[in-house]
Amino acid sequence: MDSEPSKTEATHSTSSRPASGEVGKAPGRATRPKKRATRHRKPPKNRRPNVILIGFMGSGKSTVGRLLAIRAGLRFVDLDQAISERVGMAIPTIFERYGEGGFRKLEAAVLGSLGQGPMVVATGGGIVDTRANIRRMRRLGKVCFLETSLEEVRKRLGNEQPGRPLWKDGEELARRYASRANLYEKAAHWTLNTDGIDPNEIVLQIVENLEKRGR
């Protein structure tokens, strides 16, 4: 006659049996899969932006642009020169052959094809005549308007400018100057007046503005 199982054996036997509805499940608490934390990559703090210089002819964009590029260790792009190299013609020849409308199309195309940089870009005086260029420039980087009075422009450039197709009579010059003033302001992140100021001083002001804006 078999003896009655002890309480210890009975308890052990009962606890080892799987509960109803849990057949096939591993013992222990069921664990839920952990959700992966989404990581947001922060942009590098010291990334240097592109700097685009705009302003009327004679405002010193090319001179200041080259000095700024040297100081900051950036690539320098003279947009008019890039256009000339693209088609293998001097700027006056492009105007003569294709007219101002043809030149503006080339200008917009070359602006749109610029790489990510970092770089300093000196634009032509009429870059803002094409409204889409304003959006392109502001997406490309920080836009600085080198504001120069018409009297200062005349003083710097003199009376004859054979390499500037739109340098015509005084009335035409004044008309273009007036028509572009608001467009320069609209396009720029900030404005610097250049009348009587040394180009190196203008470069320092640009650097200070970039630092204030966190680059």
Whole-number pLDDT of residue 116? 78
Whole-number pLDDT of residue 13? 43
Closest CA to 196 of 160, 155, 164, 159: 155
| Cα gap 209→199, rounded to integer Å | 15
Whole-number pLDDT of residue 10? 44
Whole-number pLDDT of residue 18? 46
| Cα gap 194→215, rounded to integer Å | 22
Domain coordinates in residue numbering, the chain? 51-212
Whole-number pLDDT of residue 169? 63
| Cα gap 148→158, rounded to integer Å | 15
Token pair listed for 105: 């199309």
Residue with token string 């959700």: 35
Contact (CB, 8 A) for 122 and 76: yes
**What backbone phi and psi angles, to 5 degrees, belong to 3?**
-80, 150
- Single-letter code of the amino acid located at 189: H
**pTM for this structure?**
0.75
Closest CA to 144 of 212, 42, 43, 45: 212
Instruction: Give the pLDDT confidence of 55-87 residue by residue, as tens digits.
Output: 999 999 999 999 999 999 999 999 999 999 999
121: β partners: 52, 77
| Cα gap 19→14, rounded to integer Å | 10
Instruction: Give the pLDDT confidence of 100-111 residue by residue, as tens digits.
Output: 999 999 999 999
The CATH number of 51-212 is 3.40.50.300
Whole-number pLDDT of residue 45? 47
Positions in the chain whose pLDDT score sits under 50: 1-26, 37-38, 40-46
In this structure, what DSSP letter does residue 42 have? Answer: P
